[in-house]
Structure 1
Amino acid sequence: MSAPHEEDDFAPSNTPGYKPTAAKSVDEYAKLDAEDESLARWKASLGIVPGAASAASGPKVTILSLELASPTLPPGKHLVMNLQDPAALANFKKNPVTIKEGVEYNVRVTFKVNHSIISGVRYMQVVKRSGVKVDKMEQMLGSYGPHPNGEPYVKNFDTEESPSGMLARSGTYHVRSRVVDDDGEVYADWDWTFKIGKEW
């Protein structure tokens, strides 16, 4: 169970004047403006058709993996966390990932929308070193419907630059990652660690 002050770290930022709309099912979206043929074709291309989610159960979103991508990564080296493998996640928590200092990288999330239309879903991470918060990231996944072929979506977030210098290279950074929506529903929540090094 998280301490209350840790939950404060994951309080989503609010845009003044923005108010999330009431959630609608895929069937409700499919029936909206049903007489508009071009809109109906577009919705069908997103898998939004009447009856598509009549047997919907389980989470609306399944987070499959998180990847750290960088053009500076050596060929063949991939930093991918499989969120469907508890043993692999435990390994990322126990054995820090090494990120090269002073390089550009971005976080990439692969996920599936199982049913319903998602909006207001965001990826958040809080980075601490020696128990002190040093960084917080909050990125929107966007709005999606179930993929017509059941294929996953991939979202690349903004490019960031890793810290550099001797101070940055000392110690281990502890990260808590979470995927949550505007209603507070949590789809994934996990811990991992990294170090800054001279090489990947």
Structure 2
Amino acid sequence: MADHPKEDELTPETTEGFKVGEKKTIDEYQKLDANDESLRKWKASLGLGTGDSISDPNDPRTCIIVSLGLEVEGRPDITIDLSQPGQLETLKSKPFTIKEGAVYRMKVKFKVQNQILSGLKYLQVVKRHGLSQKEQEMLGSYSPNTTDKPFYEKKFSPEEAPSGMLVRGKYTATSKFIDDDNHTHLKFEWTFEIKKDW
């Protein structure tokens, strides 16, 4: 079907010469150069060694997307709580409205567990009338959440919705969260409409 992106459209861009580092366990990172003060500070900035683990050993997922949000200047935030059943289906079947020319940004709330999450990225392909546009946003690397920091929230770069009669209408998008190991943590389809007014 023309509105579904080809799988290669949702492949992350790569940086020439970049190689994913060797995987280490949390314990290996915590014991790494224990007497090195600068490394200790770096590990603390990742959240290693602060608070108690809240990882669920019975849940094999590394990254759990808790909610997605849309912030628009002068409007209440739209938040989709993904812990509620049926929310991903609602994103696809019930488009939300963005006023043409409005400045907006997406945000994501997520939890990391069991191991370090390296190079989390958000990929998106938006389609309308057979034309597509791909976007990628690097979210970063994260340690498992603890009682000191039970969730992470990342706000994306602000964007401006296009304006004019030709851009008004319904758009379909396919998005996914993927890491440096090319593991997809969440993939979903959604729709939105650009309108003259809210």
Same fold (TM over 0.5): yes
Cα distance, 1:38 vs. partner? 6.1
Q: Which residue pairs with 1:176 in the alignment? A: 174
Question: How far, CA to CA, are the matches of 1:189 and 1:54 in structure 2?
Answer: 22
- How high is the sequence identity, in percent, across the aligned residues? 43
Q: Which runs of 5+ in 2 are unaligned?
A: none
Question: How far, CA to CA, are the matches of 1:98 and 1:23 in structure 2?
Answer: 42
Q: Which residue pairs with 1:97 in the alignment? A: 96
Q: Which residue pairs with 1:199 in the alignment? A: 197
Q: In structure 2, give the amino acid aligned to 1:185.
A: H
- CA pair 20-67 structure 1, distance change in 2 beyond 3 A: same
Q: In structure 1, give the amino acid aligned to 2:192.
A: F
- CA pair 180-45 structure 1, distance change in 2 beyond 3 A: closer
1:71-125 deviation per Cα after TM superposition (whole angstroms, max 9, x unaligned):
132xxx3322222234222122111110011011111111111121112110111
TM-score in terms of structure 2 length: 0.85
Instruction: Tell me if structure 1 keeps the 8 A contact 2:67–2:79.
Output: yes
SS at match of 2:86: helix
Over aligned residue pairs, what C-alpha RMSD do you find?
2.5
Q: In structure 1, give the amino acid aligned to 2:171.
A: Y
Question: How far, CA to CA, are the matches of 2:37 and 2:163 in structure 1?
Answer: 55
Aligned with 1:61 (options 54, 60, 63):
63
Question: How far, CA to CA, are the matches of 1:60 and 1:35 in structure 2?
Answer: 29
- Number of residues of Structure 1 aligned to a counterpart in Structure 2: 191
Instruction: Tell me if structure 2 keeps the 8 A contact 1:46–1:147.
Output: no
Q: Which residue pairs with 1:81 in the alignment? A: 80
Q: Aligned ranges for residues 103-118 of structure 1 at < 5 Å?
A: 103-118=102-117
